[in-house]
Structures are given as structure tokens and as C-alpha cells.
Amino acid sequence: MNDPSQRPLMVLGTSSGAGKSLMTAALCRMLKRRGEQPLPFKGQNMSLNAWVDGAGGEMAYSQALQAWAAGLEPQVAMNPVLLKPQGDSTSELIHLGQSVGIARAETYYQEWFKPGWQAIRSGLASLKAQYPHGRLVLEGAGSPVEVNLQARDLTNLRLAQYLRARCLLVADIERGGVFAQVVGSLALLRPVERPLIAGILINRFRGRRELFDQGRRWLEEHTGVPVLGVMPWLEELFPPEDSLDLLERHSRKPNAELEIAVLRLPSLSNFSDLDPLEAEPSLRLRWVKPGECLGQPDAVVIPGSKQTLRDLAALQASSTATELRRYAAAAGPVFGICGGLQMLGSVLRDPQGLEGGGQGGHEVPGLGLLPITTTFGASKALQQRRSQALWPAPAEFELQGFELQGFELHRGHSHCDQPEHCQPIASAADLGWVQGSIAGTYLHGVFENGPWRRAWLNLLRQRRGLSPLPANPVNHLVQRELLLDRLADAFETHVQLGPLLD
């Protein structure tokens, strides 16, 4: 690591949700523009928003986004430890893409610290072997100065010291108390850690930047650390970093022609599936908790779930299930993704108690809107998939020969009990089904397929008597690239990285 151009960089935050993930993505794109090969890395992440890489391994979506910003294909080495919360202070634990067990909060560090550190070192070694001239760009987790956790830290300052990384400390001014955030974080660093902090970044500033000039000077005088930039509040809608960011998003589409209700399940997962719909200018999403009024939307989407049976029980115990059945009986369009597809079915079986709180032989009725049966097993379906679209009708919506792309990430195998009434939505018959106005798929990322997304939206528009949207939009990955470029443009405009890079 003697070459300064290869010295690792690290983005730390004064708190969770400070904007570390997007700032890391911006830094990756900016270094890529300068001719370097950035290597995004987050040693340990806790998220239900996942991605499956080309080798069939699970990783956090935020590291996949950073990989795209760096011009790389995502791989699990970029996020070697992933915790997927599943309630009752437990999480499914993923090491280097594969499930290795269930971790309990109270015993996590005693049981999993050493295996986690080994997974992190293996991920680092893999990336450096593949890209010997690349520069690691690391993202921390939460706050790096949680004093009760510092001795057991896996992914913040322990990693920064191990790699001699130069660190950028990000503080969110939108939350208030930014001076206390920065000064308090620096004060809690140990003497050996303080020299690692090369700069401060103030994030999400509203108004004219010169209004913060006095505050900038104060921070530099009182901390001795340069403030490298003040990032403005970005109006573009970027992929959310975690569920908190998702729930804080407010639609700014007063003239939207369609409204889709999305069920905000208690164990909501893979909510990035909805980003392509958020990006549609003619469409507004409305998130509905179990028990809240469903209303009369143009469609209802049931997204993925980490705890399918528990989330189904929450729906059944509320008024939402009754409203949803009434809505479907009136030919209202309903679309389920992964766990949402399973909930639409007739029966869900859990013979080994994998989804039902550890009780074997568990069998529960589904919402009864699709004639499918799901049986949960120990193995996961983890793979990227491609299949020719069969629905919406190819002849009517110009989808003839169109290939759907996405990935599977689920437990449970489903089959249609009434094949004469249940049409596959793709040539791979196990990817999903449609019956009348009710449809669902196991394919995460289905809405990223632009022509397919528009075909589905045009079905909804046809019901409303609206003119169809153009059938050949760019895929969402192209929109994602444009957003990453806009993010990097703003980063380069508002952040001076000389002290971090030199």
C-alpha cells in the first residue's frame, strides 16, 4: 500500500443514515472518471435490501450500487458479511454470499466475531487479487464511535486501522445538531484513531452554501480537520440506502395520472424493486401499512418479505386482507413479488418450521387470489435469471421476443394448482403466474425491464382510458447510470478531495 494512488479511502458517518452509501458511490464514480479502479467494500452490512451476484451469492444492494458506480459487476467479496434481520433480535447471517446460520444479538460477537473478521479478510484478499492496482473505497456502518461496541468493531475503525485508510467523516445537517455530531464523534476517537480522519463532509445542506461559511470555519478551528465540502440537498430521487430513507421519501408528483398502492409489510425486503416505478413521471406510489385504508388505487403491489408467514399473518389480522380481496373481486390489478407472490396463493406450507417460528408442520391459507401452493424448504433459490416474457400479451404490447432479466432470492417452491386457469408470465414457467387481473413473480428487478414495465403500466392506463406510454423506454439501469453521473457531478462540484487523496 505504499503507492498513494492505492491507499484505501473510507467513508464514515456520524450516525446511521448520514448518507455514507451514496457518498461512497459518488466517490467511486469520481475516481473512475479520474482513471482509477475503485473497489467498493463494506465489511459488514445490516439490510433487507439485497442483490444476488453472478455466482449466486447474496450481498447488500448498496454495495451493488457502488459497484456499478465503479464500473464493476457486483460480487459478494464487496460485502462479505450481511445481516438480514428477521425479528426477535435475530438475523440470518450471510458470509461471502452464503447463509451460515442465525445470529442472536446478545451472543453475536462471542460467536461470530472471529468468523466475520475472517470473511472480511477473505473478501479483501479476493478483491486485491483480482484488481491489484485498484483502490479500496470502504463504507463504514452506523457511527464509528459507539463506545459500547468499539472493542468488537468489525467494519469501522478496526478496518480503517488495518488498512491505513484515509477517512472522510460525513455528517447530516438536515437532522440538526451537526456541530455536536462532528465534535462529539471526533472527541470519542482514541488517540491512535484520530489521525485517520482526513476530512469532514457536511451532507444534505439546504439553501446557499455561503450561509455555512462561518460554521465551516468554526469546525476547522475547533477540530483541526478540514471541511472538504458541503453537499446540497439533492432533489433527484436516488435508490434508498435503507428502509428509513424509503419511508421518508415523499412523492412530488401532484399531476401523476396513476396511483399504485404498495403494501408496507412489517418485514419488507428488496424495496429497490420499486425504484423503477418511483422513476416513472406519470405514476405515484402510496405506501400502505396493514390496517390502513387501501382506497381505490389503479393497482396494488405486494413486495418481498423476509418473514413471509409473519407478514401474511399481519395482513390477515388487519382490515387490509379483506379490502384487498374486495378490490381483487372487482377486477382490481394486484401484483406480487417474491414473498408477495407467495402470499397471493391458496396455501403456504412450512413442514420444517423455517418460516413459522420454528414449529414444524405449519400450513396456513394464503390470500386466495392465485391458485398456487408454496412449500418452504431449507435451500434458497439464489441465481440470476433470463426468460422470454409471455405476459402482458406480446402481440398487444410489442413484447414479442422480449427477454426479462432479474434475479431470484427466496425460500419456497411454488406451483400452480390449476394450470388450465393459470398462465405463466414467462417462458420459464416457475418464475410467476397470472390469472385475470392478479399476477406475481419470483423475479426481483422485474420492473427494471423498461418495455415490460411500460407494458404493465399500459394495461393499467388502458383500464383508465388513458393513452398508452411509449413502449420502448430505456431500461432502468440506464436511468440509474444517469443518476450516478448526476450524483458524481454534484460531488465534484461541492467537495474538494485534495486532502483525502494526497
- Does the structure show a pLDDT above 50 at 15? yes
Measured CA distances, 107 to 48, 152, 203 (Å): 21, 12, 35
Number of residues that this document lists for the chain: 502
Taking residues 470-494, report their average pLDDT. 87
Q: State the cell numbers at 103.
A: 445470529
Task: Mark whether 418 and 449 lie in a shared domain.
Answer: yes
Residue ending a domain, choose from 236, 270, 304: 236
Please give the tally of structural domains in the chain: 2
> Running DSSP on this structure, what letter comes out for residue 402?
P
Q: Which residues pair with 389 in a beta bridge?
A: 426
3-state secondary structure string, 165-182?
Answer: CEEEEEEEHHHCCHHHHH
> Running DSSP on this structure, what letter comes out for residue 156?
S
Helices in 352-449 by DSSP H: which ranges? 394-397
Residue ending a domain, choose from 208, 236, 264: 236
Task: Mark whether 146 and 183 lie in a shared domain.
Answer: yes
Q: At 494, phi and psi to the nearest 5? A: -110, -5
Task: Mark whether 164 and 284 lie in a shared domain.
Answer: no
Residue 99 resides in a domain: yes
> Considering only 17-26, 75-84, 232-241, 425-434, which range has the smallest mean pLDDT?
232-241
Tell me the C-alpha distance between 228 and 161, whole Å. Answer: 22
Residue 496 resides in a domain: no
Residue ending a domain, choose from 236, 266, 282: 236
Tell me the C-alpha distance between 131 and 323, whole Å. Answer: 54
- Do residues 452 and 399 lie in contact, with contact meaning Cβ atoms separated by under 8 Å? yes
- Does the structure show a pLDDT above 60 at 375? yes
Taking residues 50-75, report their average pLDDT. 97
Measured CA distances, 295 to 149, 178, 232, 268, 282 (Å): 45, 40, 36, 21, 19
pLDDT the model gives residue 360: 52
Could you tell me the pLDDT band of residue 380, with boundaries at 50, 70 and 90?
very high
Residue 489 resides in a domain: no
Taking residues 372-390, report their average pLDDT. 94
Residue type, 147: V
Residue 395 resides in a domain: yes
Task: Mark whether 90 and 226 lie in a shared domain.
Answer: yes
Is 131 strand, coil or helix? coil
Taking residues 87-98, report their average pLDDT. 94
- Does the structure show a pLDDT above 70 at 245? no
Task: Mark whether 231 and 264 lie in a shared domain.
Answer: no
Residues of the chain with pLDDT > 70, as a percent, come to 92
Residues of the chain with pLDDT > 90, as a percent, come to 78
Could you tell me the pLDDT band of residue 340, with boundaries at 50, 70 and 90?
very high
Taking residues 223-251, report their average pLDDT. 68
Residue 159 resides in a domain: yes
CATH of the domain at 69: 3.40.50.300
CATH of the domain at 301: 3.40.50.880
pLDDT the model gives residue 126: 98
Task: Mark whether 96 and 206 lie in a shared domain.
Answer: yes
- Residue tagged active-site, from 28, 338, 410, 476: 338
Taking residues 188-212, report their average pLDDT. 94
- Do residues 346 and 365 lie in contact, with contact meaning Cβ atoms separated by under 8 Å? yes
Taking residues 266-280, report their average pLDDT. 92
**444 classed as catalytic:** yes
Taking residues 269-277, report their average pLDDT. 93
Task: Give me the chain's average pLDDT, please.
Answer: 91
Q: At 282, phi and psi to the nearest 5? A: -95, 10
Residue 498 resides in a domain: no
Taking residues 311-320, report their average pLDDT. 96
DSSP secondary structure of 211-263: GGHHHHHHHHHHH---EEEEEEPP-S-PPPSSHHHHHH-----TT-SEEEEEE
Task: Mark whether 315 and 439 lie in a shared domain.
Answer: yes
Q: State the cell numbers at 25.
A: 458511490
- Does the structure show a pLDDT above 70 at 220? yes
Listed in order, strand segments (DSSP E) in 283-371 are 283-288, 299-302, 304-305, 334-337, 347-350, 362-365
Is 372 strand, coil or helix? strand
Measured CA distances, 56 to 96, 136, 220, 341, 409 (Å): 11, 23, 46, 21, 9
Task: Mark whether 11 and 139 lie in a shared domain.
Answer: yes
Q: Quickly count: other Cβ atoms within 10 Å of residue 396's Cβ.
A: 11
Taking residues 296-315, report their average pLDDT. 96
Tell me the C-alpha distance between 245 and 47, whole Å. Answer: 12
Task: Mark whether 35 and 86 lie in a shared domain.
Answer: yes
Residue 494 resides in a domain: no
What kind and span of H or E run contains 413?
A: strand 403-416
> Considering only 136-140, 194-198, 253-257, 304-308, which range has the smallest mean pLDDT?
253-257
Task: Mark whether 265 and 229 lie in a shared domain.
Answer: no
- Closest to 88 in 3D by CA, of 291, 312, 266: 266
Is 378 strand, coil or helix? strand
Give per-residue pLDDT as tens, 408-437: 999 999 999 999 989 999 999 999 999 999
Domain that holds residue 188: 4-236
Tell me the C-alpha distance between 465 and 255, whole Å. Answer: 16
Residue 380 resides in a domain: yes
**413 classed as catalytic:** no
- Does the structure show a pLDDT above 90 at 266? yes
pLDDT the model gives residue 477: 84
Task: Mark whether 225 and 267 lie in a shared domain.
Answer: no
- Does the structure show a pLDDT above 90 at 1? no
Could you tell me the pLDDT band of residue 88, with boundaries at 50, 70 and 90?
confident
Query: b/e map of 301-324 (b: 16 or more CB within 10 Å)?
Result: bbbbbbbbbbbbbbbbeeebbebb
pLDDT the model gives residue 391: 92
Task: Mark whether 164 and 218 lie in a shared domain.
Answer: yes
